[in-house]
């Protein structure tokens, strides 16, 4: 099926420097067209998730909708180095992405927040006028969780080289002393580390009025949604949030070194988007 969709790369204006944007545009844009903006995960997870984004973009284009991905400052093809990045800047970049979507002519703008991108999306959402919805893919609710997993990569690498054993406490101490640390090719500054460390969904319990579709990916039908996630959902709902929770069986594509896909997640996400639009 031909969609006459097009791929439009561009550099857009960010508050600190040009940001690389990739616009998967449908054949035409009208008042009913929805633009899904990807809020990416952290570090290498960002690269591992790109093909899943492409698969979703293709599915959206077939239905006359769009996907926009923008590399935050210091990542991907955007300006700056990773070591220059900081959390508040990434929040601003998320807002810039939404502003660009409006400039393109979209009146229906939504976020697709992947992993740590969840906390970025929640921080930016109050500053994006008329945001339609936020879709979570395997959300991270506490920045410390991402950082602990990230630091373990460095610890495992040093052990593999029979170097002096490092600990997360030691690495955090270096950052608190104002020193950068290098993990798997990513030079992390104390500013970025502290920004992510302070990021938590509790900060946004009372600031979100946008419907949320929460997708949890499970390795098998025998697995269950982590208890912490279910508790967070109930806590958020108690504050008045509208959350649709979905579980999907599929691989943890954000963890795999080789390209790993979860087509079931694409199908479930599209069913939600199209089904929700039908019932509006």
CATH for the 6-142+205-278 domain, from 3.40.50.10260, 3.40.50.1820, 3.10.580.10, 3.30.365.10: 3.40.50.1820
| Mean pLDDT on 139-157 | 89
pLDDT tens-digit series, residues 210-220: 999 999 999 99
Q: In sequence order, which residues have a C-beta less than 8 Å from that of residue 258 and are 6 or more positions away?
A: none
Could you tell me the pLDDT band of residue 160, with boundaries at 50, 70 and 90? low
Could you tell me the pLDDT band of residue 165, with boundaries at 50, 70 and 90? low
pLDDT tens-digit series, residues 85-123: 999 999 999 999 999 999 999 999 999 999 999 999 999
- Output the pLDDT for position 125: 97
Q: In sequence order, which residues have a C-beta less than 8 Å from that of residue 146 and are 6 or more positions away?
A: 42, 115, 116, 140, 196
Q: Quick one: which of 93, 63, 267, 89 has its CA closest to 192?
A: 89
How many other CB atoms sit within 10 Å of the CB of residue 29? 17
**131 in Cβ contact with 98 (< 8 Å):** yes
- Output the pLDDT for position 1: 44
Q: Does 226 score more than 80 pLDDT?
A: yes
CA 268 to chain centre: 17
- Tokens 């991907």 belong to 76
Q: Quick one: which of 63, 78, 69 has its CA closest to 27?
A: 63
Q: Does 244 score more than 60 pLDDT?
A: yes
76 backbone φψ class: left, alpha, beta (φ>0; ψ -120 to 50): left
Structure tokens at 130: 């008329």
Q: Quick one: which of 225, 203, 200 has its CA closest to 214?
A: 225
CATH 3.40.50.1820 region(s) of the chain? 6-142+205-278
Encode 196-213: b = buried (16+ Cβ within 10 Å), e = exposed.
Answer: bbebbbeebbeebebbbb
| Mean pLDDT on 269-277 | 86
């Amino acid at each position: 099926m031909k969609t006459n969709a097009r791929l439009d790369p561009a550099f857009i204006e960010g508050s600190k420097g040009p940001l690389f944007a990739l616009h998967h545009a449908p054949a035409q844009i009208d008042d009913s067209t929805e633009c899904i903006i990807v809020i990416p995960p952290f570090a290498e997870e960002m690269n591992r998730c790109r093909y899943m984004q492409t698969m979703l973009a293709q599915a959206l284009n077939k239905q006359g909708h769009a996907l926009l991905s923008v590399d935050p400052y210091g990542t991907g093809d955007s300006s700056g180095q990773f070591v220059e990045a900081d959390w508040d800047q990434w929040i601003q970049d998320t807002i810039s992405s939404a502003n660009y979507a409006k400039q393109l002519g979209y009146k229906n703008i939504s976020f697709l927040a992947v992993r740590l991108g969840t906390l970025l999306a929640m921080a930016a959402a109050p500053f994006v006028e008329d945001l339609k919805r936020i879709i979570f893919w395997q959300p991270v609710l506490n920045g410390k969780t991402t950082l602990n997993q990230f630091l373990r990569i460095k610890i495992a690498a040093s052990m593999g080289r029979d170097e002096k054993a490092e600990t997360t406490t030691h690495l955090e101490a270096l950052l608190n002393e104002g020193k950068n640390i290098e993990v798997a090719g990513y030079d992390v500054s104390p500013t970025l580390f502290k920004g992510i460390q302070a990021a938590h969904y509790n900060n946004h319990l009372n600031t979100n009025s946008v419907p949320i579709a929460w997708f949890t990916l499970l390795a098998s039908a025998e697995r269950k949604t982590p208890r912490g996630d279910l508790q967070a959902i109930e806590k958020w709902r108690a504050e008045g949030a509208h959350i649709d929770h979905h579980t999907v069986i599929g691989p943890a594509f954000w963890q795999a070194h080789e390209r790993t896909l979860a087509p079931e997640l694409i199908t479930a996400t599209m069913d939600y988007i199209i089904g929700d639009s039908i019932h509006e």
